[in-house]
Structure formats: structure tokens, C-alpha cells
């Protein structure tokens, strides 16, 4: 007999028991929901033998490892279906990914939509058969012989360490080189959909062969799949690249891949966002600074970026000296701090910067405003004593709360801990990580831990936003830094008259302003709240007779700082209304002879689609209240 633990409870079971069979004992009728098992921290297939002392957790669809396992199996089902239909194809890799899976194939003929339909049909047959997946291992020489007709698999085997366990998964007539884990049977993949096919270089290397990558997704129920596909369609409608073009917000050009151009309405949106940002920061006690775009190599060596980040930096030579266009604002902030003597009375010192940074991103990674090569980072550097750190972290979280609530965004907090490529002592890192966790806990908030994903100079909090479609975005971050103050020899004079080293926080709320604009464009589907909308009011005079009245209203609204347009074109009023609706303008004021005579406006609200006649002053009061309160 052996002893294993599940959820803190000890079980005595027969030696040689498989996790699959043990699930029946532990989960009862719910055992069919088990997809994989976590044994001593490793996600493994259910037909894995348990050993004495094992700590076990059974993963279902509700667990990330469970979803990953099911979708990994779906990738193998895809490959088996392709083998049945197109036996000449060579196979590369097929992992699970967020929300789905893919498999890369080497085939002379391009896969068409008709091919995808055939493959999907064949996949469903494989699922219906309930084929068992069986794991086995081979020595390196036998593995190479076994895969001799699959050049991509041979390359992968040759790249494995000499002592690596070379494992395979067999499902009927298809066997794949794979570490797993997988479902015991194909039958649990209840709902499958192939979504697209694209090109992908082998191993992401543009010098290697272009393969064909088939994407798909899989769920445990058809209802969940349908809900996901519906959300995908909604996401396509909300694509910020599409809306950005339709609403005249920004543009991209071949002359500057990854370098967005903001158009007049996009600048109205961006400037409104930045005005709000500045107002919030004033209330929270920040001062604003601006640091140069280009600084010399010595600075970046001192900060550590030249050694740790150079591949992402644009460099140049000035007067025979190496310079870099800043990828981050932090080193410039260090120089601002050092510009004058500092006392403990000056701390905490909260310095904010809307700094334009440049980072080299691979062309294949560029994506609208979400992944660009130049962006404005809403940075802040907070210099403090160690004793002040917890309070300052809590104040940072408070400002996050306020700003995200304004946009109707919810969030979860992730604590990222010390990476392998770090600078500084481990003990200092662990102490800083505990301060982060304590601050979050003290505010009554929860967090998850992302091991090893901190910045090279300190641990951090990442804020994962959820939008109106439930999608997750990484925007804000709070990063502790114990290293740059040391590297730049920052000091303050303490109450004891001695010199001390401050500690600092790097903090970005919106992250990249450009990326955040992309996020809220999709979050609001381009229908921005009135306070943020590029055009808040559009005047629609019905005839030439009301142009003068429309101009009077325009002048009043413009003088009060509202963003207003006056459509005096000789078009029918129905056409003007439809255009304004497509432009997602919050309020249209339809102005006819009756409204002009009575000093009224016919207000057509975007939100309700209804038209209400009221005095202009009444509309003005309503507009003012909505904008001042930043109502959603």
C-alpha cells in the first residue's frame, strides 16, 4: 500500500494505482469531469501511476491545466485528421494556446476553407470513436528511427538533451512525438471548431521554411463553443483597427510599420484621456517631469538596460559616441532625482512622466495599437524609504481602482516574483515580494503569483483588466526597484543627518496610452462615453433656414469647451442622422424651424435612439452633468 494526499486529506491506496482510477474513489460521480492531474506540481495525464508520498490535484475544465490538456489533445486530433485526408503532409508542432490550439503542417498545396471543413468533419469522427491515447517512451536511436520520415520531428529529437525522456502518444493509426499530457480518450473533446489557417515560419525563424498553421478551439460542451464563437464575432466588430479607421482615430502606413499616426479625432480622444490622467495625478500628490528621448550609452550601461534589453533598443552615434533612444523612462528619472540634494522630508517623492518610448518589436508581432514600436508610457517613479513602501503601494492600488472604475473595467492582481535573469541579492528580493503581498492583503484584495516573471530589477504587481466581453488585458503595473537607486547612487539625508539609500517604485496605470486607447475602443465598441467621445454633440440643421440658429448653438458649445460639429451639408436629415449614428456620436441635435423659433433642440440620444425636444439650456445642463461626472 502507498499513501497519497488530495486537498490536504491522506489516502491509502494499492501500489500501482493509476490517477484515473483514483479519481473515481476521490471524486465519486464527478470523476468524469477530471481532465488531467497535477502530481507534485506537474500537470500529467490521468493514466499516470501514483507513488508513495504523491500530492495530487485533479484538474477539470475550470482549471487552466485542464483546459490546456483538452486543447492539446484536440491538436493531436487535428493532426490525425490531416493524416487521414492528406497522408503526404509532414508534421511539425501542435500545442495548446490561450483559447484554443494550432498545428503546423508542411504541405505544398495551401489549405482552403473547403479543406478546413473536411478536416473538421474528420475530427468529429475521431472524437466519436473515443480513441484511447497511449503514452510510451523510446531510446534516442529508436526514436530517430521511428520518426525518420518526419524531418521536423527528427530535428526536435536531435535538439533534446542526451538524457531526455523521449515520449510519444499513440491514438490508433497516429503517433506523435509529445511530452503530454493528454486526455485518456478523444471522446471528451465534445465541441471542436477550426477557425483559420495562416503561414508560420518553422520555429519562428524567417530564414526557415514557411509552414501552414491551422488554428482551432475546443470545449467540453457545444453551448460553451457557441458562446465563444459568438464572442469572437462580437470581438471582430469591436476590432480597434477597424473602428480606428471608421471613426477616423488613427492610421498606419507602410512608411512606418508599428509607428501609429493619430488623426484629429484620435488626438481629441488622446488629449482628453491625458487631461483626465493629469487631474488625477495632481490630486494624488504627483509632480510631472519630462526627460530626453536620447541619452548616451554610459547611462544605459549603468541602468542595466544595455546588457539586459539592448536587442529591443534603437541606437545611434552622436559625436562618435553611442546613444540610445529610450525604451524606458526610468534612467532619466534617476537623473532628475540626483539633480539636487534630497532630504527625508522630501520623501515620498512622486514623479510622473508621459514619456514617449521606442522599442524594437518584430514585424510579425505588430498589431494595431496593441503592439507598436513607439508609444507614450504613463510612467511614475516614486522615491521613498523602506518604511513608506507599503503605504505607497496601497496608494498606487487606490489610484488604479479609481481610474479603472471610471472606464467600467474590472481587474485582477498578479504578483510576479524574481526571474532567473535578475540583479541584486535574493534576500532583498524576497523581502520586497512580501511587502507587495502584504500591501494587497491589507487592502482586502486577492492576488495570484506568477513565479519568475518579475522585472530584472525587482518584483512587480501586474493588473489584468477585464473588458465588456470578459477578455483580459495587461496594462497597469507596479514594480519595486531596489537596484537602480544603488546603481545610480541615489541618496537622501535622514533625520539622523546621515546619508541613506532610497527605494523606488516604477508605476504605470494605463501602461501604454496607445494600447489603452485600443483596449477602451474595443471595450466601448467605439461608442465612447460622452466625456471621452471625440465628437460629443453633432448639430443637424434640417434646412438652410436653420443654419444661423445651428451656428449660434455651435458657437456656445464650442466656447464652453465641448467637442461639437455642425453638419450644414445639403443632405436629407435621415442621411445625416445615419452618418452620425455610424460615427457613434453621443448626442445629435436635430434643428428645424420649430426648434429655432422656440429656442429648443430635438435631442437624439445614441444610447436610447429616442428623440426628446427640450430647451437648449436644459440640454446644456444635462450635458454638463454627464461630462463632469464622467458617466458611463
Asked, for residue 238, whether it belongs to a domain, the answer is: no
Q: Is residue 456 pLDDT above 80, yes or no?
A: no
3-state secondary structure of 309: coil
Report the distance separating Cα 247 and Cα 336, nearest Å.
40
Report the distance separating Cα 323 and Cα 321, nearest Å.
6
One domain for residues 215 and 124: yes
Give the CATH number of the domain where residue 318 resides. 3.30.930.10
pLDDT digits (tens, 9 = 90+) for 262-300: 999 999 999 999 999 999 999 999 999 999 999 999 999
Helix (H) / strand (E) containing 396: helix 389-406
- Of 492, 523, 554, the residue at which a domain comes to its end is 523
C-alpha cell at 551: 451656428
Q: Is residue 210 pLDDT above 90, yes or no?
A: yes
Percent above pLDDT 90 for the chain: 76
Give the CATH number of the domain where residue 603 resides. 3.40.50.800
Which residues in 232-258 are b (16+ Cβ under 10 Å) and which e? Answer: eeeeeebbbbebbeebebbebeeeeeb
Residue 85: per-residue pLDDT: 97
Asked, for residue 241, whether it belongs to a domain, the answer is: no
Residue 120: per-residue pLDDT: 97
Catalytic-role residue among 182, 359, 395, 422: 359
Residue 470: per-residue pLDDT: 80
Residue 388: per-residue pLDDT: 94
C-alpha cell at 201: 515560419
* Secondary structure, 3-state, 227-259: HHHHHHHHHHHHCHHHHHHHCCCEECCCCCCCC
Residue with C-alpha cell 504541405? Answer: 107
Residue 92: per-residue pLDDT: 97
Confidence category of residue 65, pLDDT binned at 50, 70, 90: very high
Q: Is residue 408 pLDDT above 80, yes or no?
A: yes
501 is catalytic: no
Asked, for residue 455, whether it belongs to a domain, the answer is: yes
Asked, for residue 245, whether it belongs to a domain, the answer is: no
**Contact assessment for residue 326 and residue 295, using Cβ atoms and an 8 Å cutoff:** yes
500 is catalytic: no
Q: Is residue 582 pLDDT above 90, yes or no?
A: yes
3-state secondary structure of 447: coil
- Of 478, 499, 523, the residue at which a domain comes to its end is 523
**CA distance between the termini of the chain:** 62
Q: Count other Cβ atoms within 10 Å, centred on residue 375.
A: 22
Q: If you ran DSSP here, which 8-state letter would residue 202 be given?
A: G
Torsion-angle region of 333 (φ positive above 0: left; ψ -120 to 50: alpha; else: beta): alpha
User: Residue 71 phi/psi, 5° resolution?
Assistant: -75, -30
**Contact assessment for residue 101 and residue 217, using Cβ atoms and an 8 Å cutoff:** yes
Residue 73: per-residue pLDDT: 97
Average pLDDT, the chain: 93
359 is catalytic: yes
One domain for residues 565 and 506: no
One domain for residues 593 and 481: no
One domain for residues 316 and 366: yes
Report the distance separating Cα 203 and Cα 360, nearest Å.
20
Confidence category of residue 457, pLDDT binned at 50, 70, 90: confident
The whole-angstrom distance between residue 500's C-alpha and the CA centroid of its chain comes to 38
Confidence category of residue 426, pLDDT binned at 50, 70, 90: confident
pLDDT digits (tens, 9 = 90+) for 354-391: 999 999 998 878 899 999 999 999 999 999 999 999 99
User: Residue 44 phi/psi, 5° resolution?
Assistant: -130, 165
Report the distance separating Cα 496 and Cα 232, nearest Å.
61
Q: Count other Cβ atoms within 10 Å, centred on residue 203.
A: 16
Q: Is residue 519 pLDDT above 90, yes or no?
A: yes
- The mean per-residue pLDDT over the stretch 13-31 comes to 86
One domain for residues 425 and 289: yes
**Contact assessment for residue 418 and residue 454, using Cβ atoms and an 8 Å cutoff:** yes
pLDDT digits (tens, 9 = 90+) for 35-64: 999 999 889 899 999 999 888 899 999 999
360 is catalytic: no
Q: What residues does 136 pair with on adjacent strands?
A: 168
377 is catalytic: yes
The whole-angstrom distance between residue 403's C-alpha and the CA centroid of its chain comes to 18
Higher pLDDT, 207 or 566: 566
One domain for residues 125 and 23: no
| Polymer length of the chain | 632
3-state secondary structure of 351: strand
Report the distance separating Cα 270 and Cα 534, nearest Å.
9
Confidence category of residue 205, pLDDT binned at 50, 70, 90: confident
Give the CATH number of the domain where residue 40 resides. 3.10.20.30
Catalytic-role residue among 381, 395, 507, 576: 381
- The mean per-residue pLDDT over the stretch 288-313 comes to 92
Report the distance separating Cα 451 and Cα 460, nearest Å.
11
Question: In 62-205, at which residue ranges do the beta strands (DSSP E only) sit?
Answer: 90-91, 96-97, 100-106, 134-138, 166-171, 174-177, 191-201
3-state secondary structure of 508: strand
C-alpha cell at 101: 490550439
pLDDT digits (tens, 9 = 90+) for 586-613: 999 999 999 999 999 999 999 999 999 9
**Contact assessment for residue 384 and residue 348, using Cβ atoms and an 8 Å cutoff:** yes
**Contact assessment for residue 546 and residue 593, using Cβ atoms and an 8 Å cutoff:** yes
**Contact assessment for residue 361 and residue 311, using Cβ atoms and an 8 Å cutoff:** no
Distances (CA, A) of 550 to 110, 251, 601: 58, 32, 10
Q: Shortest CA distance to 287 belongs to which of 389, 381, 162, 393?
A: 381
pLDDT digits (tens, 9 = 90+) for 136-168: 999 999 999 999 999 999 999 999 988 888 999
User: Residue 77 phi/psi, 5° resolution?
Assistant: -65, -40
One domain for residues 597 and 517: no
Number of domains composing the chain: 4
One domain for residues 402 and 483: yes
Sorted by sequence, the CB contacts under 8 Å of residue 399 that are 6+ apart come out as 280, 284, 509
As a whole number of angstroms, the longest Cα–Cα distance in the chain is 95
**Contact assessment for residue 31 and residue 22, using Cβ atoms and an 8 Å cutoff:** no
Predicted TM-score of the model (pTM):
0.81
Asked, for residue 283, whether it belongs to a domain, the answer is: yes
Report the distance separating Cα 533 and Cα 542, nearest Å.
24
379 is catalytic: yes
C-alpha cell at 583: 460615427
Catalytic-role residue among 330, 342, 371, 395: 330
Asked, for residue 182, whether it belongs to a domain, the answer is: yes
One domain for residues 322 and 299: yes
The whole-angstrom distance between residue 494's C-alpha and the CA centroid of its chain comes to 41
Q: Count other Cβ atoms within 10 Å, centred on residue 272.
A: 18
Report the sign of the C-alpha dihedral through residues 596, 598, 600, 604, in that order: negative
Q: Is residue 619 pLDDT above 80, yes or no?
A: yes
Helix (H) / strand (E) containing 197: strand 191-201
Confidence category of residue 3, pLDDT binned at 50, 70, 90: confident
Strands across the sheet containing 174-177: 134-138, 166-171, 174-177
- Of 490, 523, 556, the residue at which a domain comes to its end is 523
C-alpha cell at 300: 544605459
Q: Shortest CA distance to 154 belongs to which of 179, 181, 177, 180?
A: 177
Alpha helices of 188-239 — where are they, by DSSP H?
A: 222-238
Catalytic-role residue among 377, 388, 479, 600: 377
One domain for residues 396 and 505: yes
Asked, for residue 420, whether it belongs to a domain, the answer is: yes
Report the distance separating Cα 265 and Cα 250, nearest Å.
8
Q: Is residue 1 pLDDT above 90, yes or no?
A: no
Asked, for residue 65, whether it belongs to a domain, the answer is: no
Confidence category of residue 204, pLDDT binned at 50, 70, 90: confident
Report the distance separating Cα 613 and Cα 96, nearest Å.
56
Residue 25 domain boundaries: 2-60
- The mean per-residue pLDDT over the stretch 514-519 comes to 94
80 is catalytic: no
Catalytic-role residue among 240, 460, 523, 538: 460
One domain for residues 380 and 300: yes
Distances (CA, A) of 552 to 250, 558, 570, 609, 616: 31, 10, 19, 25, 11
Catalytic-role residue among 506, 563, 584, 604: 506
C-alpha cell at 316: 545611434
One domain for residues 191 and 260: no
Amino acid at each position: 500500500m502507498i499513501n497519497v494526499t488530495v486537498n490536504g486529506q491522506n489516502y491509502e491506496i494499492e501500489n500501482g494505482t493509476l490517477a484515473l482510477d483514483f479519481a473515481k474513489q476521490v471524486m465519486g460521480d464527478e470523476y468524469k469531469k477530471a481532465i488531467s492531474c497535477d502530481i507534485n506540481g506537474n500537470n500529467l495525464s490521468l493514466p499516470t501511476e501514483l507513488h508513495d508520498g504523491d500530492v495530487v490535484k485533479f484538474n477539470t475544465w475550470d482549471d487552466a491545466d485542464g483546459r490546456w490538456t483538452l486543447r492539446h489533445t484536440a491538436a493531436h486530433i487535428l493532426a490525425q485528421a490531416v493524416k487521414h485526408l492528406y497522408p503526404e503532409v509532414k508534421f511539425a508542432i501542435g500545442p495548446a494556446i490561450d483559447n484554443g490550439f494550432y498545428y503546423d503542417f508542411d504541405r505544398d498545396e495551401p489549405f482552403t476553407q473547403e479543406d478546413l471543413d473536411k478536416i473538421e468533419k474528420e475530427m468529429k469522427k475521431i472524437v466519436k470513436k473515443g480513441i484511447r491515447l497511449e503514452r510510451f517512451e523510446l531510446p534516442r536511436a529508436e526514436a530517430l528511427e521511428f520518426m525518420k520520415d518526419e524531418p521536423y520531428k527528427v530535428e526536435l529529437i536531435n535538439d533534446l538533451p542526451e538524457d531526455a525522456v523521449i515520449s510519444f502518444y499513440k491514438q490508433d493509426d497516429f503517433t506523435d512525438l509529445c511530452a503530454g499530457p493528454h486526455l485518456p480518450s478523444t471522446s471528451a473533446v465534445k465541441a471542436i471548431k477550426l477557425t483559420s489557417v495562416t503561414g508560420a515560419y518553422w520555429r519562428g525563424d524567417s530564414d526557415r521554411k514557411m509552414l501552414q498553421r491551422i488554428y482551432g478551439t475546443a470545449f467540453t460542451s457545444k453551448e460553451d463553443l457557441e458562446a465563444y464563437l459568438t464572442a469572437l464575432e462580437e470581438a471582430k466588430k469591436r476590432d480597434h483597427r477597424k473602428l480606428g479607421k471608421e471613426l477616423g482615430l488613427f492610421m498606419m502606413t507602410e512608411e512606418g510599420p508599428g509607428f501609429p499616426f493619430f488623426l484629429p479625432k484620435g488626438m481629441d480622444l488622446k488629449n482628453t484621456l491625458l487631461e483626465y490622467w493629469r487631474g488625477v495625478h495632481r490630486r494624488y500628490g504627483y509632480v510631472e517631469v519630462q526627460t530626453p528621448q536620447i541619452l548616451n550609452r554610459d547611462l544605459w550601461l549603468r541602468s542595466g538596460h544595455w546588457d539586459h534589453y539592448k536587442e529591443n533598443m534603437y541606437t545611434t552615434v552622436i559625436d562618435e559616441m553611442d546613444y540610445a533612444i529610450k525604451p524606458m523612462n526610468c534612467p532619466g528619472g534617476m537623473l532628475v532625482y540626483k539633480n539636487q540634494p534630497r532630504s527625508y522630508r522630501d520623501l515620498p517623492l512622486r514623479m510622473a512622466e508621459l514619456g514617449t518610448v521606442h522599442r524594437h518589436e518584430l514585424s510579425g508581432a505588430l498589431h494595431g495599437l496593441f503592439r507598436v514600436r513607439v508609444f507614450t508610457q504613463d510612467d511614475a517613479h516614486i522615491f521613498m524609504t523602506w518604511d513608506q513602501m507599503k503605504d505607497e503601494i496601497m496608494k498606487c492600488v487606490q489610484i488604479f481602482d479609481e481610474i479603472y472604475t471610471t472606464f467600467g473595467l474590472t481587474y485582477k492582481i498578479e504578483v510576479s516574483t524574481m526571474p532567473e535573469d535578475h540583479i541584486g541579492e535574493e534576500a532583498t528580493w524576497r523581502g520586497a515580494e512580501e511587502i507587495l503581498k502584504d500591501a494587497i492583503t491589507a487592502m482586502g484584495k486577492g492576488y495570484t503569483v506568477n513565479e519568475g516573471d518579475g522585472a530584472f530589477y525587482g518584483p512587480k504587481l501586474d493588473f489584468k483588466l477585464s473588458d465588456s466581453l470578459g477578455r483580459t488585458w495587461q496594462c497597469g503595473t507596479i514594480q519595486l526597484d531596489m537596484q537602480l537607486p544603488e546603481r545610480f547612487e541615489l541618496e537622501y539625508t535622514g533625520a539622523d543627518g546621515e546619508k541613506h539609500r532610497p527605494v523606488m517604485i516604477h508605476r504605470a496605470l494605463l501602461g501604454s496610452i496607445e494600447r489603452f486607447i485600443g483596449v477602451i475602443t474595443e471595450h466601448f465598441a467605439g461608442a465612447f462615453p460622452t466625456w471621452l467621445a471625440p465628437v460629443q454633440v453633432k448639430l443637424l440643421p434640417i434646412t438652410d433656414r436653420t443654419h444661423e440658429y445651428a451656428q449660434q448653438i455651435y458657437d456656445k458649445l464650442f466656447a464652453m469647451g465641448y467637442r461639437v460639429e455642425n453638419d450644414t451639408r445639403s443632405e436629407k436629415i435621415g442621411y445625416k442622422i445615419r452618418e452620425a449614428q455610424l460615427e457613434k456620436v453621443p448626442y445629435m441635435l436635430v434643428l428645424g424651424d420649430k426648434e429655432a423659433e422656440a429656442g429648443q433642440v430635438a435631442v437624439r440620444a445614441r444610447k436610447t435612439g429616442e428623440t426628446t425636444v427640450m430647451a437648449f439650456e436644459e440640454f446644456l445642463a444635462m450635458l454638463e452633468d454627464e461630462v463632469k461626472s464622467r458617466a458611463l
